[in-house]
Amino acid sequence: MTNVSTHEKCECIMCKNNTTTMSVEECLNAHHRLSLNELIHFIDLSLSKCDELRDQIDASYTSSCSNKYPRSLIISLLKLYSSFHPHDWHKYEYWNTTDTYTRNLIAHHPDRFTVMLVCWKGGSSPIHNHAGSDCLMTIVRGVVREIKYHTPNTEHNIEKLDIKQIMELHEGEVHLINDQIGLHKMETLNENTQAVTLHCYIPPYSDCFTFDSEDDKIKINITHTTYDTEYGKTT
Ligand SMILES: [Fe+2]
């Protein structure tokens, strides 16, 4: 696993007492100001006994591993991290002139999780599933819109996708999506605004389905996961 090294000063009782080793629960109870490095460390710690997560999901897009790991703990960690308006994710921020959003890998454990920063500047992602994994995200800058669709009952001959919900996600909020909840696409509110989101995928995956409208039918593609930067360096 690759760690990041930036820290911000924390005023919580744990740090004032010079306590350097915390459990996940202690960290949450103390309202400790998490650095990105610590967030990833605690996500890894929370999942350390969950290395069979991949075995819980299959190749379809209706399976889920959601009840096989401490999801609420990871949500709490993401909330805690974003509640202090962190800036240490800037190290992974990347924009270019061609893409309406960039995907930037921060940390990866092959059996447990992927953490990624997405920088949005207009446009939207394709409609996609999450390959049976959970996607937990927090918005660290700006506002994004999620358009959520009902997951189709079949993977073949899909004529249309029905919208389930449209919602705006604001800075500091934490959001969950998986294939049982639905498919989705993400976008900024308009083409002139920027937003940055931090995503944690549990377990990691390398391929997902994307969905395109084509001649009154939905074309399903298998899309391989790629990144514009990995660990702070362009690929
Ligand atoms: Fe997604």
Buried-exposed string 134-165: b where 16+ CB fall within 10 A, e elsewhere: bbbbbbbbbebbbbbbebbeeeeeeeebeeee
Ligand 1 centre and the CA of 135: distance in Å? Answer: 7
Is 41 assigned a ligand-binding role in the annotation?
Answer: no
Ligand 1 centre and the CA of 128: distance in Å? Answer: 6
Ligand 1 centre and the CA of 14: distance in Å? Answer: 35
pLDDT score recorded for residue 94 = 97
CB 169 within 8 A of CB 148: no
Mean pLDDT by 10 residues, the chain (235 residues): 51 62 87 92 90 65 65 95 95 94 96 96 92 94 96 78 96 95 95 95 92 82 95 92
Ligand 1 centre and the CA of 178: distance in Å? Answer: 8
pLDDT score recorded for residue 95 = 96
Is 109 assigned a ligand-binding role in the annotation?
Answer: no
pLDDT score recorded for residue 64 = 57
Distance CA 95, CA 217 (A): 33
pLDDT score recorded for residue 3 = 43
Is 170 assigned a ligand-binding role in the annotation?
Answer: no
pLDDT score recorded for residue 160 = 84
Q: What is the pTM of this model?
A: 0.89
pLDDT score recorded for residue 8 = 55
Ligand 1 centre and the CA of 201: distance in Å? Answer: 9
Ligand 1 centre and the CA of 86: distance in Å? Answer: 22
Ligand 1 centre and the CA of 19: distance in Å? Answer: 37
pLDDT score recorded for residue 147 = 97
Rg of the chain taking only CA atoms, in angstroms? 18
Domain architecture of the chain: domains with CATH: 5-234 (2.60.120.10)
